[in-house]
């Protein structure tokens, strides 16, 4: 290695860079993971679960038979989602 002493000293003082696992820094892998997370969050099944949670919070304010009809409808839609996926 033919480097001037000044360059060698400079290189010696620089902190060592460790290579990370390629899976952690691979932009394609990170993008794929991000897309998967977005798809899961935006999935119809996830949206139905959120609607059911809100409906449960409103249970006291809704007529019991209407509440049950809505819960049954959500369950039917969830079953259909599972079949489609």
pTM of the model: 0.55
Q: Which two tokens stand for residue 68?
A: 């049950």
Residue ranges per domain, the chain?
43-85
pLDDT score of 31: 83
Confirm if 23 and 29 have CB atoms less than 8 A apart. Answer: yes
Sequence-ordered alpha helix ranges (H) in 1-85: 5-13, 22-25, 27-42, 44-57, 64-84
Q: What is the pLDDT of residues 22-75, one digit of tens each?
A: 445 677 788 888 888 887 777 888 889 999 999 999 999 989 999 999 999 999
Residue bearing the bigger pLDDT, 46 or 18: 46
**Would you say residue 20 has pLDDT above 60?**
no
Confirm if 41 and 48 have CB atoms less than 8 A apart. Answer: no
Query: How far apart (Å, rounded) are the C-alpha atoms in residues 73 and 79?
Result: 10
* Four-residue CA torsion sign, 18, 21, 24, 25: positive
């Amino acid at each position: 290695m033919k480097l001037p002493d000044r360059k060698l000293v400079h290189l010696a003082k620089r902190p060592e860079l460790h290579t990370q696992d390629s899976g952690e820094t691979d932009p394609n892998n990170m993008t794929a993971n991000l897309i998967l997370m977005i798809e899961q969050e935006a999935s119809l099944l996830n949206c139905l679960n959120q609607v059911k949670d809100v409906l449960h919070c409103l249970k006291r304010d809704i007529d019991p038979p209407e509440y049950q009809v809505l819960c049954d409808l959500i369950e039917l839609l969830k079953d259909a989602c599972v079949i489609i996926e």
